[in-house]
Structure formats: structure tokens, C-alpha cells
Structure 1
């Protein structure tokens, strides 16, 4: 059987070397596009990555009457919401695919139209990802939520009003929901236990540009004073720190040297500390960060994933491949998602020694309090990897499989690579730039 457009054949063992550029963060650009619904005039979002998740959101916005025009500069998107209208649930379902983005349309659509529909939500298979946080918050704003077999219908018969909301967990998605809903709600909203990721701060900056009044207080508290009207914005999206960390891990695992243009130190400090502890080296420049393997042994580490400013869950998967080369035992406590180590099955198939403890591990001197749903992975190294046929399970796990194949001795076939395009712009072109040895048919 020949190679399909969703497969890549990689000949491993070649260090990745060169320069690539990272554009705006997937986790900001898509939310900023939704925020344009709130304005009474056209918004300009710059530095938008060319990824499938952006195309999904663009399609959903178009279904609701938002006119989207690409600017002369690559990555520039003009979003005109002046003719917003309702969309059929079936159309939304067809365009959304596996994305969970439609839930964030609810607040803006309730303000603009008085109603919103969302289909069943998908996403990567890394945990239950309940939307209860979102629905509970929307109810507190005054939304009436009706669960249907095909999805969820919401109305706001009396409009939306400010609310006091405390999240049981500093969820990024739920924080975004509250921000997008509260800015036009009547009165003041107090959000406790909010997420404070850099992408959240960038979204707040966008909303402030639109005319919102938002105060970020200490201890994860955000106050939002509702205003009567918002206008469009002009904004350049923050860089994608997840993609930057993924290429950094690839440089370390392949004993390579990659300059990641567009990456910034401030948003990556926690990652940079771990990268250095493992044995990687980096150099900070004004226009990006150089990540490289300086030679010598890699060292084992203990990592506990957490919400910002902790070590991101999206960072651990690519780094695990490098840890298979470390001399000793590394442990990763996954405290954010309950099912994020499925990708390690393929690494073990390639020769890694990774044991996943589905109920986590008891430990002392933990920075992050142990959580009931957490898992742990124990990686013993060094273990040389050998080529194999593997299938991508999810976005970050998929990039980890690419790194493993690039590191491994011999040939690997990685299938279902289309998932990777959800969050990594032109990863095939970037692999070519870095000198990878592979075959891919678009």
C-alpha cells in the first residue's frame, strides 16, 4: 500500500538544525477571533497562524455572518461582525468537527442575538474536559440552558447581568468564557480562581482595546465592569509558546540546534528552567531563542504539570522523548488532564522504558498538591529508540511521535498526522528547513 496524505515516513538519526519561525498562539488567536463578535466595528488580528483550528473558527464565524478578509501581510485577518446572524445547528456541527471552540461563542452570541446553539463538543482524547464550568457560569449571568439530543440551546430572556463566580479549578476555557460574557453584561463581575496564562492576559488586552474595563487583581481574581458597547480592535497575537517548546524538545532529543524565531523568554521561564536542568542549552535573542544540545549526558528530572505559572501540560509530552535519553529515572506528575499519557504506548513500542501509573504516585515535597485524577509517568533512560509504525493520538502527543521518529534509529511511519496541523503551522515545511530526512505526500 502506498503512502497516504495523512502519513509521513521518517528516517531518523539526523540532528535538526536551522531556524524556524513561530506565529501567534493557537490558544489566543482562535479566542481573539471569537472576541471580534463583541465589537460594533471591524477588528484586525495580526500574526494569525495558518492552522486548521483557525480555519474552523473562521468557518463558524462566517456561518454567523462575520465577514473575514485576509490582509496583504500573511497572518493578517480583518473580521467584520456588522451582519451577525443565527446559524443552523447542523451547519455549526459540520464546521466545528472535533473543536471545542463553539462553547466560547455562547456569551457573545447571547449579547448579539439573544440566543446561541452549540453542538456536541469534541477535541483531543486526553480527558473528559467537562463543559460544566462554562454552563454554570453562563447560568449565573442569566442564561437559560436547554440540553437537547443534538447539542445545547441557550437564551437570555432578561439579558445578561454581572455575577460573582468562583471556578472550582483555574480553567483556561472557563476563564475565557467569563471574560467574553462579562464585558457586555450589565453590572460588575467578580471572577475568583481565574486562569492567568499569558494567552488569557493577551485576550484581556484585546478586550481592553475594544473598550472593556477589566482589572486583574492578586490571587487569581479578575473584576470586569460591564460596558454598553464595544468596538473593533487592532492586535498582534502573542507567540505560540507550546510550539516553541515543542521545537526546543526536538532540538534536545535529536542532539540538534534550532533557533525559534518569535519565541520570548518571559512567557517560557518555567520551561527554560526545566530545559536547563535536563541538560539543554539556550540563548536568548531579541528576535527569538536558540535551543540546542550542548553535548554530554542529559539528566533526569521530576516535573509536576500545573496551570500558569507552573509547567504546562502541553510541554511535558514533547519533552518526554528527550527524557528517554537522560541517564537515570525521570518522573512526570500530570495534574491537569487525567488521560494524557496515552502517547507513551508508541514510545515504548519504539524501545522506551516508560511506566504509567494511572492513579498517580505518592510523593514528598510536592509543589503541586496531589489530585485525585492525576497520573504519573516514570521514564528510565537512556533507551535508544528504534523506528516503528505509530499512529498520532492527539495534538501534542502527535508532535512527540514525530520527535521520537526523528530521534529513532531506522525508519518510522507516522500516520494520522493531520491532527498535528490543528496547532502547528506548516510543520512539514519546518521539518524540511531543519534538515529532517522524510517522505510526505500532500
Structure 2
């Protein structure tokens, strides 16, 4: 919200109601400063819209989670194909298109969600037709395309490997309900499996989580859709170890890989976890080992052998998902577990500890400098 305000956008955010109203003036800024972008990588998503609307964008190279190389080459190449000039200087990705953007035929080397978003949002105001091949198919991409359509954009093929955009002169305001957060929903599904609990994920869309929910079913969990969402139960059940290999959607999401690690750490048997998308996303393993997990990293694989119970210890979160996964590990560890770096967790799970307590967990938030006893 603060980033949009710095750009000159009026933002009325009501956390309780879950709504945000944006009032965009005729002229807005084009610079996204590092102090705002550093904590949230998704801030790079302003790049495409700014180039399309303003003709220029200076966006700080983002920070966010420490989970390996996440180059911006695909973003830059896509915008260059649309006619923008793109370069990096003094820590900023700078894109300019003083004469506007034009349609192009673009093929992504990898179905990057972020690159798909930026190219899609830039191309809706480009002259002519743009085709983007090998795009991300995530529900969030479909959701963005539907919102753009409500604003007057002409987008076809979202959810498939090819998106076609016919440029329009302008967009109009609209009202839109965003797609539910499937990674948050998946987190609660794994929480049920890891703790041998029974959780109904209200608002969750099971169809968006076929791969992870299928893995939990193979592990022995009961999964069912409900009128309000879906339910995962491991209560009174033996949870068996299950293999996972992360892949672009509709495959197993890399963002749920740390939760598969935690669940397998206390499952019956052994499992192989393969990370195909990011080379440094096994930092969770060394922290789980501090809790007594039996896991070995070999390149982009982890072999993990389930143990009956973990043992509480101080551990450190390195990103949103590993932090939440370590909290779940603490719930099934004997004694106290202190998870530091909770600011990472807050970015993806507001009031996480409150939700856990509502489910019966013994979780408290400590001051940042609280000692482990």
C-alpha cells in the first residue's frame, strides 16, 4: 500500500473488511524506491503497468526471501520485445518507452509468474496484438486477466500456455474479488497433516491445489470439499512419508515444499523431496535438523526419514514459508521451540499465531530479543 501511495495513488485499505479502494490520478510517479521494494519481491509487479501507463519506470531490484537466484532477465526481455529500453543502473531496473509500447510475439524461456504478470499488464495498452508463449498458468494469472478484462482489456488464453492480448487505448475502473490465497490454504492443509489434526479451510479452492492435496491423500490423510472450501483430516490416522517434486503450476508448488519437509519429518517411512525451481530453498532442512529431523541434502534433493517426535530448540526463519513451516514443526516438537525472524512470516500470514491459537495450538509471540530458555 505504501508503495502505491508513494506513486501518488490514493489507497483506502480496510483490513477488517478485506477491501482496498484505489484512486489513481491522471498523473502518477514512476519510481519504486529500495526502502519499500526490499522487503517484498512482488513489488516488481509495478514495472509493467508503469511502463505502459507512464512510459517509464524505475524499480529497485527487489529483495524479499533468500531462496536463490530469481533473475529479472525474463521481465526485461519481455518489455524490450514490446519496445521498451531496459537496463539496470545503481540498483534500479529502469525501463523507458517514450513512444509507447507495441505488440510482439514473445516466448518465455521459463513460465515465470512474475514475468508473465509484467508482460501481460504492459501489453494491454500496447499498440497491436501480443502473443506470449510458455506463460505461467497459475490461478493468479487467470485472476489478473479477468480483472483486466473487467477494466476493458482484451485478453485470451489465461490459464493455458499461450496468452493473446489485443491492445486497447485505455482501461476503466472496476470492482473485483481476488482469487483466494492457495498457498495459505495449502499451509493449513499441511498443518492438519503435520499435527494429525482436522482443519476446514474456509474459502480455499481445492481445484487450485490438486498436486499437494493429492500428495496428502497418498500419505493417508482424508481430503474432502465442503460447502465453504475444503477439509483435511489426519486425526487418528497414520501419515505415511510421501515424495514431492516441485514444478510450475499445476505441479506441486515450490512455496509448499518447506511444509512437505516438515510433514515428512514426522511421517512414517522415508521420502525424497526434489526442488526443481530454486537452488537455495533447502535452508529449512538445517533448521529442522536442529529439532531432530533426519534429513540429508544432495544437490536439489533431500532424503528425509521420519522420526517419532521432534525436540524443541531455537531455529531461524529465512523466508515466509520456511518460517511458517518451522512453526508447524515446533507444534509437534517436545518442549519449547523459539522461531526467530518472524517478520518473514508476517508478510505472508498476518496474525499467524492468533489463527493457530484458535485451533488449539500453544503459541505466543515473543519480543524480538527474547532469550530461549
After TM superposition, give the deviation of residue 145 of structure 1 in Å.
Answer: 1.7
Which one of the candidate residues 322, 338, 348 is aligned to 1:397? 322
Which one of the candidate residues 258, 266, 269 is aligned to 1:328? 269
Report if aligned partners of 1:327, 1:381 keep a CA contact under 8 Å in 2.
yes
Corresponding residue SS for 1:61 = helix
Q: How big is each residue's C-alpha offset from its partner over 1:266-286, in whole Å with a ceiling of 9 and x where there is no partner?
A: 112222111110111123111
Residue 421 of structure 1 is matched in structure 2 by 346
Distance 1:146 1:114, change over 3 A: same
Paired residues, number = 367
Q: Which runs of 5+ in 1 are unaligned?
A: 1-57, 359-374
Residue 167 of structure 1 is matched in structure 2 by 108
Report if aligned partners of 1:351, 1:383 keep a CA contact under 8 Å in 2.
no
Report if aligned partners of 1:253, 1:321 keep a CA contact under 8 Å in 2.
yes
Match status 1:143 vs 2:84: yes
Report if aligned partners of 1:64, 1:84 keep a CA contact under 8 Å in 2.
no
After TM superposition, give the deviation of residue 106 of structure 1 in Å.
Answer: 2.0
Residue 386 of structure 1 is matched in structure 2 by 311
Distance 1:72 1:426 in 2: 12
Distance 1:136 1:209 in 2: 28
After TM superposition, give the deviation of residue 386 of structure 1 in Å.
Answer: 0.4
Distance 1:293 1:379, change over 3 A: same
Match status 1:277 vs 2:200: no
Which one of the candidate residues 19, 29, 35 is aligned to 1:86? 29
Distance 1:226 1:87, change over 3 A: closer
Distance 2:84 2:175 in 1: 30
Q: How big is each residue's C-alpha offset from its partner over 1:240-286, in whole Å with a ceiling of 9 and x where there is no partner?
A: 11111111111111111222111122112222111110111123111
Report if aligned partners of 2:67, 2:281 keep a CA contact under 8 Å in 1.
yes
Which one of the candidate residues 63, 85, 93 is aligned to 2:6? 63
Q: Which runs of 5+ in 2 are unaligned?
A: 368-373
Match status 1:410 vs 2:335: yes
Structure ranking higher on relative contact order (CA contacts 8 Å, 6+ apart): 1
Report if aligned partners of 2:222, 2:232 keep a CA contact under 8 Å in 1.
yes
Corresponding residue SS for 1:124 = coil
Distance 1:313 1:291 in 2: 20
- RMSD value, Cα: 1.7
Distance 1:316 1:72 in 2: 29
Which one of the candidate residues 127, 131, 143 is aligned to 2:72? 131
Residue 371 of structure 2 is matched in structure 1 by none
Residue 230 of structure 2 is matched in structure 1 by 289
After TM superposition, give the deviation of residue 71 of structure 1 in Å.
Answer: 5.3
- What TM-score do the two structures reach when normalised by structure 1? 0.80
Corresponding residue SS for 1:309 = coil
Residue 365 of structure 2 is matched in structure 1 by 440
After TM superposition, give the deviation of residue 433 of structure 1 in Å.
Answer: 0.5
